[in-house]
Structure 1
Amino acid sequence: MIPSYLIRKQRIIILILGMLIFITSIIAISVGPASVSIDRLIPTILGDGTFKEDFVFFSIRLPRLIIIVLAGMALALSGAILQALTRNELADPGIIGINSGAGVAIAVFFLFMPIEVGKFVYMLPVVAFIGAMATAILIYLFSYQRKTGAKPVHLVLVGVGFSMALSGLMVVLTSGAKSEKVDFIANWLAGNIWGTDWPFILALFPWILILFPYTYMKSHQLNIFGMSEPVGIGLGMRVEKERVVLLMVAVALAAATVSVTGGITFIGLMAPHIAKRLVGPRHQLFLPITILIGAWLLLIADTIGRNALQPESIPTGIVVAIIGAPYFIYLLLRSK
């Protein structure tokens, strides 16, 4: 039974985060070289904007904004699932190598497979999921010990090792490729959000629409995973089955996202921690807050990256890393 004061607190925080996302979105649309001024936003939305304003808002700013919000939500939710499954507060799809696995699969597909323009956008999440899932399985197997299971520290270390190895493989794959394809892979690695058109939204949105409600329905199981496996077995939960299914959900969310945004890390690390500090460790309470924090963090990072060094821009993934790396070091020191 969740205390009523926590439910009220959750609702207030959700309202505040929704307002912050809205305000940050207005700022993101109204600043930068291609932007719509604040006083022209409402006329443009209502159809009274100039051709330039309509084009900038509906073809450039709005699709990018939606992609960023969806991506931040998916990465945050993926990180929350991984942290519960591993009982490891350092787990993040980027840090433990899942993003790199998706990246290698995308690189192979992009460099060596015949690409049909109409299907390219929708194939990327599937290809990324295959690469990310294969990597997740290997990481789990290499970190698993018969007596102790998969220790959190082993999982992180093996994941970091896989991430480095796969990054090296990415360099090998691109060493003999054409320059335009190498540029695409380099931008992907830096987390330079490239999928900013409406088809990419259609490719990403169904994953969020299906997997977030499913994850929320599994909040009780995630709470049990956060305690221990014997507790789950004692309560009659089919531990291995639930772990595999939820791991696939986390991998699918991360893979679908990085196929559009590139290699962005730390959102899945920071957002669940901040949410838990606000409302506690129950997934029923902090999962909705987690996805909103993830969306807001990525939106802030993208806005800063686009405008910090005009006319050039900093890849969003680098800005997130600048914010997230100190937080990761803090958590690493605290976990000793």
Structure 2
Amino acid sequence: MGATPESVLENRRKKGGFTVMAVLGILIIAAFIISMNTGYIRLSPLDVIKTLFGWGTGKQELILFEFRLPRIVISVLVGAGLAVSGCILQGITRNALADPGILGINAGAGLTVMLFIFLFPTSAAAPVLWLPVTALVGAGLTAALICILAYKRHKGFVPTRLLLTGIAVATGIKAAMIVLTLRFDPDQYQFVATWLAGSIWGSSWKFVLALLPWIVVLLPFVFFKARVLNVLNLGDQTAVGLGTPIGKERLMLLGAAVGLAGSCVAVSGGIGFIGLIAPHLARRLVGPKHQMLLPTSALAGALLLIVADTLGRWIVQPSEVPAGLVVAVIGAPYFLYLLAHAKS
């Protein structure tokens, strides 16, 4: 039997999706290379190659291996994690405006990180490895609070109610964070101010090791649940009719989204809008099916953040603009556009 028109169209979409992911991968590699050459002390492409193969000077090895490479790797991991977290939240709430930053999950993680920094010096080895766990606790408690306040009997989670509740909770948490900064000494305050602006502050290999397990475990789990997200997008009644335990699946996916957002925020600071922009960009490129949408969102988020961090280090040398501010310049107008479009 010949192939049906539907199967032919599906195969074309898959090929197109794989092509998009390949192009994004190539762009990430290009941005990675450019980022290794960007900084106050410039390393030429030849210097980078020589240093990578062990032929560079001691100074070049210090700059590349101890400062730039960990920061670039962190940018890629955080961008992918935040993008997938946003994609999950948009899927389980069926709300195109859902994002871990807008819903207040990032703010909850930030508050617990600030409390942790207040109690422990950031120079200590053990506290650094505990930062993702601390942020996860704050993100989880915030997500639970938002869900409790947004839940409406007989109606469940109304998307608009969930969004507005998240914004209100985030505002309250940020107010508490401002009050907490009054208790910080100058060094702690400087660190927190940089963190809140969204600077990739965890620029060492110990932070990469602290974040990597969360990404390695949670991303494959979410990709495995792509079909469940497709079913949830059909609506609760249809999902139940297809035999999907929507309560259990939503809870597991929400936990994965919170884990990704919390662990990423712990080492990257208050970076917002990646979880909003990347899934929308991916949806325009590969369509709404999560088998393609989730990995494409991860690649798009990684590309956005590594480009934002590179631009931030290049624009005002020898100083730098936090990557979170660069992303916000793009993300804030885009959020307003989406909000206006949703109202219409």
- The one-letter amino acid paired with 1:202 is L
Could you say what secondary structure the match of 2:332 adopts? helix
Match of 2:76 among 69, 72, 89: 69
Equivalent residue in structure 2 for 1:226, among 212, 221, 233: 233
CA distance in 1, matches of 2:126, 2:41: 29
Structure 1 331/115 Cα, relative in aligned 2: closer, same or farther at 3 Å? closer
Correspondence for 2:15 among 8, 12, 23: 8
User: Is residue 217 from structure 1 mapped to residue 218 from structure 2 by the alignment?
Assistant: no
- Paired positions, count: 336
SS in 2 for 1:335: helix
Tell me which of 302, 311, 336 is aligned to 1:304.
311
Matching of residue 162 in structure 1 with residue 179 in structure 2: no
Pairing 1:94-243 to 2, within 5 Å after superposition: 94-113=101-120, 117-243=124-250
Residue of structure 2 equivalent to 1:56: 63
CA distance in 2, matches of 1:176, 1:267: 31
CA contact (8 A) 1:233 1:239 kept: yes
Instruction: Decide whether the 8 Å contact of 2:120 with 2:127 is kept in 1.
Output: no
Match for residue 30 of structure 1? Answer: 37
Q: How far did residue 35 of structure 1 move?
A: 3.5
Q: Which amino acid is 2:279 matched to?
A: P
Pair 27,182 (structure 1): closer, same or farther in 2 beyond 3 Å:
same
**Equivalent residue number for residue 335 of structure 2:** 328
Shift of 1:176: 2.0
Query: Percent of counterpart pairs with the same letter?
Result: 45
TM-score of the pair, normalised by structure 1: 0.97
More deviation, 66-75/41-50: 41-50
CA RMSD of aligned residues (A): 1.4
Deviating 4+ runs (over 4 angstroms): 113-116
With structure 2 as the length reference, what TM-score do the two structures score?
A: 0.95
Tell whether the 8 Å contact from 2:109 to 2:262 is kept in structure 1 after alignment: yes
- When structure 1 is superposed on structure 2, of 61-70 and 224-233 the one drifting more is 224-233
Q: Distance in 2 between matches of 1:160 and 1:206?
A: 30
Mapped contact 2:38–2:313 kept (Cα < 8 A)? no
In structure 1, distance between residues paired with 2:123 and 2:300: 36
Partner of 1:252: 259
Between 244-253 and 227-236, the greater mean CA deviation after superposition: 227-236
Superposed CA deviations along residues 111-164 of structure 1, whole A, max 9, x for unmatched, are 135878221121101110111000001111111111322211111111111111
Cα contact 2:98–2:276 (8 A) shared by 1: yes
Which amino acid letter does the alignment assign opposite residue 229 of structure 1?
Answer: D
Contact 1:35/1:57 (<8 A) preserved: no
**Contact 1:216 1:287 survives alignment (8 Å):** yes
Q: How do residues 86-97 of structure 1 correspond to structure 2 at under 5 angstroms?
A: 86-97=93-104
Partners of 1:323 and 1:112 lie apart in 2 by 35
- The CA distance in 1 between the partners of 2:303 and 2:103, in whole Å, is 23
Task: Tell me what 1:21 maps to.
Answer: 28
Judge conservation of contact 2:74–2:208 (CA < 8 Å) in 1. Answer: yes
- State the alpha-carbon separation in 2 of the partners of residues 241 and 261 from structure 1: 30
Distance 2:60 2:260 in 1: 33
Deviation per residue, 1:149-196 (Å, 9 max, x gap): 221111111111111111110011111221111111111111011101
Give how far 1:87 is off.
0.4
* Stretches of structure 1 lacking an aligned partner (at least 5 in a row): none
| Contact map agreement 2:122 2:128 (CA 8 A) in 1 | no
Between the aligned partners of 1:108 and 1:313, the Cα distance in structure 2 is: 26
**Which structure 2 residue ranges, 5 or more long, are not aligned?**
1-6
Of residues 38, 41, 50 in structure 2, which corresponds to 1:43?
50
Q: How far 1:297 sits from its partner (Å)?
A: 0.3
The range that moved more, 21-30 or 35-44, is: 35-44
